[in-house]
Structure 1
Amino acid sequence: MGISRRAVLAGAAAASAAASGMPAAALTGPSWDSIVVGAGVFGAWTAEQLRRAGQKVLLVDAWGPAHARASSGGESRMTRSDYGADDIYTRMAHASLGQWQALSARAGLPILNPCGVLFLFQNDEAYARDSIAVHRRLGLPLAQLDRAGLQARWPQIDIADIAFGLHETGFGALMARRAVQTLVEDFVRGGGEYRTAAIRPPGDGARLDTLTTMAGETLSARQFVFAAGPWLPKLLPGLLGPRIFPTRQEVFFFRTPAGNDSFGAARLPGWADWNGGDIVYGFPDLESRGFKIAQDAHGPAMDPDTGDRIVSAQGLEFARRYMARRFPAMADAPLSEARVCQYENSANGDFLIDRHPQWANCVMVGGGSGHGFKHGPEVGRMAAALLSDAAARPEPRFSLAAKGVVQARAVH
């Protein structure tokens, strides 16, 4: 990705100084208004919102924006406003959509593919009823289709056991890696600074004035944001170790039939199948990368540094079985690509956007994996507001006090 010449020169100078044995104090750079740790979707949008507010901001990441092991890495993420009774997320998704549209419009390649989103339900689920009620109350569009309507529009889908579907237009797929990298490029062009640097966990002092990199550089600022995704429990182990749960997730991409565009984004939306509560979701063949299938259930615990990144035979068999049942023309499709990533969630799936209980000048942002990517602009706005206004209070559901220590997922 494109990073400012200033940032590149700063990084080179620091590396040269470290190699020459210069003391850490010689590596100390200028003070910033805010330092944001973690260049995933939450950290990048928080840094950009702070920059837009006139702050001098440093964004740092250990490996780079939306790198291969990050929860914000990979090809695609869904943007949707169906959230059952959780209207806070419906409102956030709509508020964020305009920011994604604007970023996509100025990017070299599309970031938002407005292919739409289709939810499929086998029964009269409360989640569906609540989604309909929320959209009506907020005056937002949401189409309900019966079995005949689904069959007429999307004959690629076997809907023999489906009672009805909910279809959202305007939403669809966000190209995840490209989105974050484009946003960071915009941030740097606008005057923000980015560095690739690994940050040591801060100490237990009464104040937080500086961070130290693994290379020994001291970085000072008035304010700090920790938005390091699945690395949050390692950066703040005593506080977030018991409250943030990185889990292992598997994603599969299958080759579509040659010469057949019925599984492309022009003819098939992103989709999520309630599947009796065992939700499966996926995307059409976006940019010829393959037909995506994933299971939206929390996997086993995952260490983002040492966890195994090879998909399981069981996971692949599940994806194949499901695909053959719901998309019969894809029954024998060859596997094109498979990935192991991680969710990074709070106990119930709500976000964490709150001040550190000891350091009033520090905000923690996380708990977003599985459904958070789409909300990046609004999460960034909320986090920036907590830093910019001492009187601002966190949304109660996003507070640290609301975070449990036993996984009991409630947000889908």
Structure 2
Amino acid sequence: MLDTDIAIIGGGTMGLATATALANRTTRRVRVFDAARPPHTEASHHGHSRLVRVAYGEGRAYVPLAQEALCGWQRLNQAADAPVFIPTGILNIGAHDSPFLAEVETSARSFDLRTESLNHADITQRWPGWSLNTSFRGCFEPQGGVVLTERLFQYWRSVIANSANITAIDNTPITSISRRHERFVLRSLAGDQWQAGQILVAAGRANRALLRPLGIELPIQRVRKVFGWFDHTPEYDAARWPGFNYCGPAGDYYGFPAIDGHGVKIGRHDGGQHIEDETTPGDFGSHPSDLTDLRRLIDRHMPGVGELQRGAVCEYLRTPDEHFIIDEPIDGLFIAAGFSGHGFKFAPAIGDRLRDWMCSHAPPASFQPFNLGRF
């Protein structure tokens, strides 16, 4: 049986954020296991890009974590060979009475964040790619932007490759975790075994099956979501167009400017289809509403966006309250799960705080709202 000090199950966003944070803090041996070789399409990090914002419509309690994460993305930009974060700004659009937009503005005021309140004419004049009537308004956050996920993973994996104490073990699905005295035993699909003093379980959709035999039940629902890249006119290029969130009659959407030859990317945040544990989400187009869900926003509000270039499917692993689960339910066993479609942007901060928790054995007070015991 092979031995390590820390085992991280899941080499995706939170697993690698924590592993690379540990590379700068500890000399303990760390092994990062993944069922494939990240980045890949079986995890929540695929799709080329993610939004980063700080004025937070999901609740102002997230703002300190978002501020810390933004600093982390800016540091990564300085460390990586190519930029991983592009400060396009983020435009939040909604009806005048939108609760999401109201919370964005309240969080900005509460933490003295720099934002601009805009009416529909301000928006369409600055970004002519929008077509909006008088029922809409917006809040622009200039410090927000876009993370390029493939570049990010390339950098993170280079950090691990150059680390003396951290090893990525790819194409190795972990199928079980058990306790043996004061340590944890991991078994792979191939029958190999490792033992570790601490474990971080951050394996996405595999989390529930891994933790259930230990008596830990995660209240997480898999939800199928779609997004796609589209042809466009030049005003949607990254030099002219921000990332955006839209909450209006068409639904709840997010989007990205055209970057690195990719088209305009648009995804739907609400809706979707529930997925049972043993089923696969199916390819884009396998559900009748896949394209029409995306075109609903385009046809109403984005006249310069044309035909679909390609579509894709992802999953939200959603908790009942749509807040995260970050906890240590058994001494030495840490969980990072249920990020509910809005966790990626916090990765540098979550990785740093999990590192500190694992090294100091002192849980950060900021993670208390994410305790599994709230369910």
TM-score between both structures, scaled by the size of structure 1: 0.83
Contact 1:231-1:304 at 8 Å conserved across structures: no
Residue 250 (str. 1) matches residue 222 (str. 2): no
Q: For structure 1, which runs of at least 5 residues remain unmatched after alignment? A: 1-27, 404-412
1:343 equivalent in alignment to 2:316: yes
**Structure-2 separation of matches of 1:102 and 1:298:** 35
2:319 and 2:24 map into 1 onto residues whose CA distance is 29
Offset of 1:393 from its aligned partner?
5.4
Alpha-carbon spacing, 1:293–1:84, altered in 2? closer, same or farther (3 Å): closer
For 2:81 and 2:362, the matched residues in 1 are separated by 40
When residues 164 and 240 of structure 1 are mapped into structure 2, their CA distance, relative to the original with a 3 A threshold, is farther
Q: Which residue of 2 aligns with 1:372?
A: 343
Partner Cα distance (1:114, 1:291) in 2? 16
> CA shift at 1:64, angstroms?
1.5
Task: Confirm whether residue 318 of structure 1 aligns to residue 289 of structure 2.
Answer: no
State the shift of 1:115 in Å. Answer: 0.7
Please name the residue that 1:282 is paired with.
Answer: 255
8 Å CA contact 2:89, 2:143 repeated in 1: yes
CA offset at residue 175 of structure 1?
Answer: 1.0
1:284-299 to structure 2, matched below 5 A, reads 284-299=257-272
The offset of 1:274, in angstroms, is 0.9
The SS at the match of 1:342 is: strand
Q: Does the alignment pair 1:301 with 2:277?
A: no
Normalized per residue, the structure richer in strand is 2
Q: Distance in 2 between matches of 1:116 and 1:393?
A: 30
SS at the partner of 2:260? Answer: helix
CA-to-partner distance for each residue in 1:37-77, whole Å, 9 max, x for gaps? 10111111111222222132111101022211111122111
C-alpha distance 353-163 of structure 1, shift in aligned 2 (>3 A): same
Q: Does 1:171 align with 2:144?
A: yes
Q: SS state of the match for residue 109, structure 2?
A: helix
- Which range moves more in the overlay, 55-64 or 126-135? 126-135
The amino acid of 1:318's aligned partner reads D
SS in 2 for 1:209: strand
Distance 1:203 1:222 in 2: 12
Distance in 2 between residues matched to 1:58 and 1:99, nearest whole Å: 23
Deviation at 1:277, TM superposition (A): 8.7
What is the alpha-carbon distance in structure 1 between the residues aligned to residue 216 and residue 316 of structure 2?
Answer: 15
Partner residue, 1:194: 168
Distance 1:106 1:388 in 2: 24
Separation (CA, whole Å) in 2 of partners of 1:363 and 1:188? 24
Query: Highest CA radius of gyration, 1 or 2?
Result: 1
CA deviations on 1:348-374 (whole Å, 9 max, x unpaired) are: 111111002xx3011011111411101
Q: Is the 8 A contact 2:12 2:39 kept in 1?
A: yes
Q: How does 1:110-259 map to 2 (within 5 A)?
A: 110-191=83-164, 192-196=166-170, 197-203=172-178, 207-237=182-212, 242-257=218-233
The normalised TM-score by structure 2 is 0.91
After TM superposition, give the deviation of residue 176 of structure 1 in Å: 1.8
Distance 2:51 2:261 in 1: 17
Q: 3-state SS of the aligned residue for 1:144?
A: strand
Q: Distance in 1 between matches of 2:259 and 2:203?
A: 28
In structure 1, C-alpha distance between the alignment counterparts of 2:148 and 2:297, rounded to whole Å: 24
Counterpart Cα distance in 2 of 1:320 and 1:128: 23
- My pick for the range that moved more, 179-188 or 65-74, is 179-188
Letter in 1 for 2:212: P
How much has 1:97 moved relative to structure 2?
1.2
Deviates more, 1:55-64 or 1:155-164: 155-164
Residues 324 and 340 in structure 2, CA contact (< 8 A), matched pair in contact too: no
Deviation at 1:255, TM superposition (A): 1.4
SS at match of 1:173: strand
Give yes or no for the alignment of 1:56 onto 2:29.
yes
Question: Do the aligned partners of 1:232 and 1:240 also contact (CA within 8 Å) in 2?
Answer: no
Q: 1:65 touches 1:181 (CA, 8 Å); kept in 2?
A: no
Distance 1:318 1:301, change over 3 A: closer
Q: Deviations over 1:68-95 (max 9, x none)?
A: 1111122111111132372232221111
Per-residue deviation, 1:182: 1.7
Aligned residues: 368
Asked whether the equivalents of residues 319 and 340 of structure 2 are also in contact (C-alpha less than 8 Å), the reply is: no
Q: Shift of residue 188 of structure 1?
A: 2.6
1:226–1:338 CA distance, 2 compared to 1 (3 A)? same
For residue 307 of structure 1, report the CA deviation from its aligned partner: 3.1
Relative to structure 1, is the Cα distance of residues 240 and 301 closer, same or farther in structure 2, using a 3 angstrom cutoff? farther
Q: Secondary structure at the match of 1:248?
A: strand
Q: Which residue of 2 aligns with 1:20?
A: none
Identity between Structure 1 and Structure 2 (%):
26
Please say if residues 253 and 338 of structure 1, whose CA atoms lie closer than 8 Å, have aligned partners that are also in contact.
Answer: yes
**Please, what is the CA RMSD of the aligned residues?**
2.1
Counterpart code for 2:299 = A
